[in-house]
Amino acid sequence: MKKTILLLVFIISTQGYTQIKKFGKVSVAELKSTECTNFKDANAAVLFKHQKTHYEYDGERGWLLITKIHERIKIYNKEGYEFASKKINFYNTSKSSETVMIKANTYNLVNNKIEKTKLKNKEIFISKNNKFWSSKKFTMPNLKDNCIVEWEYKIISPYHTTINDVIFQYTIPILYIESTIKIPEYYLFNVNVSKYYPITVSEKEESRTLNFSFRTKETSNSIKTTRYTKKVELYQKIYAIKETNIPPISNEPYINNINNYIGKISFELNMVKFPNSIPKFFTTNWNDVTKTIYNLSEFGDELNKKSYYKKELDEKLTNVLKQDERIKTIFNFVKEKVKWNGYMDYYTHNGVKKAYKNGSGNVAEINLMLVSMLREAGFDANPILVSTRSHGVPFFATRDGFNYVIAGIELPEKLILLDATEKYSSINNLPKRVLNWQGRIIRKSGSSTFIDLFPKVYSFEKNTTSVILDELGNIKGNARISYKNLNAINYRNSYSNLNNSELISRLENYYSPIEIEKAIVRNENNLDKPFLISFKFSAENQGEVINNKMYFSPLFFLNESENIFKADKRKLPIDFASPWLDNYTIIITIPNGYKIESIPESSSFETKNKIANFKYSITSNDNKISVKVTTKVHIPIIPTNMYEEFRNFYSKRVKKINEKIVLIKD
């Protein structure tokens, strides 16, 4: 029996690879190749990827899930070296673990002979990611332009109800991919294919004979065992893909985690039914998932612990009567008391009491502690489960869909969001890593619902710059920039706690080509006020002198020379993470001996769908020119159906701010 799961087929002509080659069988022709035929700009390309997933039965251990992946990658230049590194995540606890076996080689062509460099075991590094997950990481040795790297790894997993995603699109092209997943009749999975790059998945059934052996005691009191063999007839489903010339996913400006959009096939367990047993259903909904999480001892139980902080919290709240001040006091108390150790999880690793005592904890220990304190103070506070940007967007209900938790306070008029892991976050001002579509709030009552994580306030930048222009086109002046909301978090993290030389170096790199003589930051830790940066600058050749005239853009080093949104069409949304507002005021003093011949016209325009607007105002008085430029984007995400409209708006904006002022000698 055959049927097509997905009818959408992406067909591109292919050259070269139409089958998988054995590990180690690299040809001279492959190594001589200096560019990818169908993707000439590629720095590297996957020559082929082969993935096989199937089930085996062990009489002692039960069902095992076996996944074997073989990849061969051509590296064309140094920019492609990053694709010679691999990270393999595997489940690893004190009770049981997945087994990962790796072999890998690098191949170079030396005097027309193939030189093989084997990856050594000591070059494979194991790291513990969290309580449940570890990873094996390696970078291939002896990398050179036009080399080939190849690895093959096998994962043996006792966790047979979870099939890893089949990834069939990277940021480099894949010339050929072949994948088969064989699943015994006892397991029923829903198969989901990514919508951004759909492919054809074929499905068929075949019979299978399972031979296995096991030991059992001869009697209940005996230590002697007897080995038995057994044969079982069953059928299995086979899901398969074969595709050629899969293009790289475009890494366009302002993309959320690109892994949200890559082509992949996901397997969601629906049911397990063994012979002569009652079916066990696994497909669930988000309410069931969140209830399960809340009932974890490392989650819900931690919210009920309060004796460890109660005395100190009561002292902090003495004489703090106003609602907003009590929230702020508790929030700051947690941030000061416990620092984030860098680990993300929605469940605790060592527990809230230990984190409080040691002054360090993971995301859950900090933010569940915050929820508990807020509840103790009388607020309707609850945890909110989040999948961070790096973790991606979950497509179906699963506990693995979340990797983070924040705190929420439900007031009659609004919802307050808090994340005490971020030093520079404030009330309703979350760090960018958390701003990933929706979170799931879990209430004490047991109910749960999705809530929007994106901020409603603008990420704000206000720039006031005074410029003195001389007769050679050189400039000097002062700039004062203030940041609020998400921008304040981002810039505090980038520019706080630097010595003066580090601060100047970072600003000069950002605002090239200016040179900075003096720079100051203010309000690093005063989160109630905007974050301020001011500096004194100079730069040469900012005005073009031709004969008796001078031409220059009034924004100077603050200018954007071209539209960053170059593509005519875009498949992925533009993700700014927040609505944003830029407000620039530039006051220019023109050189003695010159007068204004022409200045651009003031202008304002907006998109037809009113998602963005732009204002440009310019005035002059004697030897002074004042320019005010304001850009507002009212939504955090620009969907693909609005891309063309927004791209045209941005092009018009860039063109306007690049219009020249013309001075002429008296």
Tens of pLDDT, residues 389-446:
998 888 778 888 899 999 999 999 999 999 999 999 999 999 999 999 899 999 988 8
| pLDDT value of position 394 | 82
Q: State whether 463 and 446 are in the same domain.
A: no
Of 87, 158, 97, 163, whose CA–CA distance to 132 is shortest? 97
Report which residue type is found at 61: R
Q: What is the DSSP string of 330-382?
A: HHHHHHHH-EE-S---SS-SS-HHHHHHHTEE-HHHHHHHHHHHHHHTT--EE
- Which of the four pLDDT bands, split at 50, 70 and 90, describes residue 131? confident
Q: State whether 265 and 127 are in the same domain.
A: yes
Q: State whether 384 and 484 are in the same domain.
A: no
Tokens of 610: 């009113």
Global confidence as pTM: 0.86
Burial 605-619 (b: 16+ CB within 10 A, else e): eebeeebbbbebebe
Q: What is the DSSP string of 527-568?
A: TTS-EEEEEEEEES--SEEETTEEEE-TTGGG---S-S---S
- What's the CA gap between 505 and 286, in Å, rounded? 48
**Domain of residue 54, CATH code:** 2.60.40.3140
Decide if 17 is inside a domain: no
Q: How many residues does the chain have?
A: 666
- What's the CA gap between 492 and 17, in Å, rounded? 50
Decide if 63 is inside a domain: yes
Beta-carbon count within 10 A of 171 CB: 16
User: Does pLDDT of 273 surpass 50?
Assistant: yes
Stretch 125-149: mean pLDDT: 93
Q: State whether 271 and 193 are in the same domain.
A: yes
**Domain of residue 433, CATH code:** 3.10.620.30
Decide if 20 is inside a domain: no
Residue 64 — left, alpha, or beta (φ > 0 → left; ψ -120 to 50 → alpha)?
beta
pLDDT (tens digit per residue) in 139-170: 999 999 999 999 999 999 999 888 999 999 99
User: Does pLDDT of 555 surpass 60?
Assistant: yes
Q: State whether 390 and 274 are in the same domain.
A: no
Cβ-defined contacts of 620-623 (< 8 Å, 24+): 620/596, 623/589, 623/590, 623/592
Decide if 594 is inside a domain: yes
Q: State whether 469 and 601 are in the same domain.
A: yes
Q: State whether 130 and 213 are in the same domain.
A: yes
User: Does pLDDT of 499 surpass 80?
Assistant: yes
| pLDDT value of position 221 | 67
Decide if 24 is inside a domain: no
Burial 590-602 (b: 16+ CB within 10 A, else e): bbeebebeebbee
How many domains, the chain? 3
Q: Which phi and psi angles does 84 have, rounded to 5°?
A: -95, 15
Decide if 18 is inside a domain: no
Which helix (H) or strand (E) segment is 650 a member of? helix 643-657
* Domain endpoint, select from 281, 314, 332: 281
User: Does pLDDT of 300 surpass 90?
Assistant: yes
Answer for the pair 580, 633: CB distance below 8 angstroms, yes or no: yes
Stretch 522-526: mean pLDDT: 96
Answer for the pair 104, 149: CB distance below 8 angstroms, yes or no: yes
pLDDT (tens digit per residue) in 186-244: 999 989 898 888 889 999 999 999 887 766 766 666 667 777 788 889 999 999 999 99
Decide if 90 is inside a domain: yes
DSSP letter assigned to residue 276: T
Q: State whether 431 and 466 are in the same domain.
A: no
Answer for the pair 61, 268: CB distance below 8 angstroms, yes or no: no
- What's the CA gap between 630 and 461, in Å, rounded? 10
Q: State whether 532 and 428 are in the same domain.
A: no
End-to-end CA distance of the chain: 88
User: Does pLDDT of 514 surpass 50?
Assistant: yes
Q: State whether 437 and 478 are in the same domain.
A: no
**Domain of residue 566, CATH code:** 2.60.120.1130
- Which of the four pLDDT bands, split at 50, 70 and 90, describes residue 62? confident
| pLDDT value of position 552 | 97
| pLDDT value of position 12 | 30
Answer for the pair 227, 149: CB distance below 8 angstroms, yes or no: no
Q: State whether 381 and 528 are in the same domain.
A: no
* Domain endpoint, select from 437, 452, 467: 452
* Domain endpoint, select from 452, 486, 503: 452
Of 307, 309, 172, 301, whose CA–CA distance to 248 is shortest? 172
Decide if 390 is inside a domain: yes
Q: What is the DSSP string of 438-469?
A: EEEEE-TTS-EEEEE-S-SS-EEEEEEEEEEE
Range of the domain at 569: 459-665
Q: State whether 433 and 298 are in the same domain.
A: yes
